[in-house]
Amino acid sequence: MTVLITGASRGIGAATAKVFAEQGFAVAVNFKNNEEAAASVVDEIIKKGGVAKSYRADVADPAQVAEMVRSAEADLGPIDVLVNNAGVCVSGLLQDMTDADYDFLMDTNVRGAFNTCRAVLPSMISRKGGAIVNVSSMWGETGASCEVLYSMTKSALAGLTKALAKEVGPSGIRVNCVAPGVIDTDMNSGYSEETMNELKEETPLSAIGSPDDVAKSIYFLCNECSGFVTGQVLGVNGGLVI
Ligand code: NAD
């Protein structure tokens, strides 16, 4: 079995790569810029006896995505599972957001998932099976002040998940979404320690989530334990949003 994980050189993507490798998947580790970090994820998997290879592609670019999928399928076999994890965030008041900010967020977070789904589906459909997980956010459900564009892109991923689940369900392909809460990764490095402590206190499980918490939920949505689950958005947030 082969999984392609976008933005897998660090954070939630890297943790997901390791979880799938431990479960016997061959892992295509996508990265945009940080070749060294992607190589270290691959090395760690190979050292533990797993199979992995890294692929450079900007998910916003359809030609790069098509070439990545072609190479990964040639190297590792047909893609059984796609995890759309690559994502970016820009914070600030809506009126201060530029057209470039809009394009950056939409192209990476939404067009990126569109590009990858479109590239992997023909093979999944012809094999009548597969699973796709999109990484949204709790802000896509509740909306976040000063992260309006980010929230909008993450809501779009929930919409993509539901519609595509209906479209490809008859082909035996499941499409689901995780909506993480506050997870300890570089994406939250801008938050002060005080803010992180406040968020922790507001969380019923009294913790900040780890990349591994999200990775295991993604894996759950891709194996037989969730075989009758599709079109769903699974909150992975310690109860912060209920
Ligand atoms: P992160 O910034 O460490 O990881 C994001 C990854 O996406 C990086 O490896 C980055 O290089 C990659 N990426 C960005 N643009 C790309 C592109 N155009 N092509 C390919 N790769 C690209 O942060 P993370 O927290 O691990 O984020 C992973 C996902 O989880 C994101 O979609 C993010 O929106 C989502 N998320 C994170 C949190 C959180 O609290 N950390 C909460 C909810 C959702």
Give the separation between CA 228 and CA 133, rounded to whole angstroms: 14
Query: Would you place residue 127 in the very low, low, confident or very high pLDDT band (cuts 50, 70, 90)?
Result: very high
Q: What's the average model confidence in pLDDT over 140-164?
A: 98
160 is written with which tokens? 């993509």
Mutation to probe ligand 1, out of 35, 61, 88 (largest number of atoms < 8 A from CB) = 88
Which atom of ligand 1 approaches the CA of 209 most closely?
A: 40
The answer to whether residue 102 is catalytic is no
Which residue's alpha carbon is nearest to atom 23 within ligand 1? 187
Query: Residue 34 corresponds to which tokens in the numbers above?
Result: 């940080």
Confidence band (pLDDT; 50, 70, 90) for 178?
A: very high
CA atoms of 84 and 160, how far apart (whole Å)? 12
Split at pLDDT 50, 70, 90, the class of 64 is very high
Provide the pLDDT confidence category of residue 5 given band limits of 50, 70 and 90.
very high
Nearest CA to ligand 1 atom 11: 7
33 CA: nearest ligand 1 atom:
11
* pLDDT higher than 90, residue 190: no
Report CA-CA distances (Å) from 146 to 22, 89, 104, 139.
Answer: 38, 11, 16, 11
One CATH from 3.40.50.1370, 3.40.50.1100, 3.40.50.261, 3.40.50.720 for 2-236: 3.40.50.720
Of the candidates 55, 102, 150, 219, the residue annotated as catalytic is 150
Q: Which ligand 1 atom is nearest residue 180's CA?
A: 43
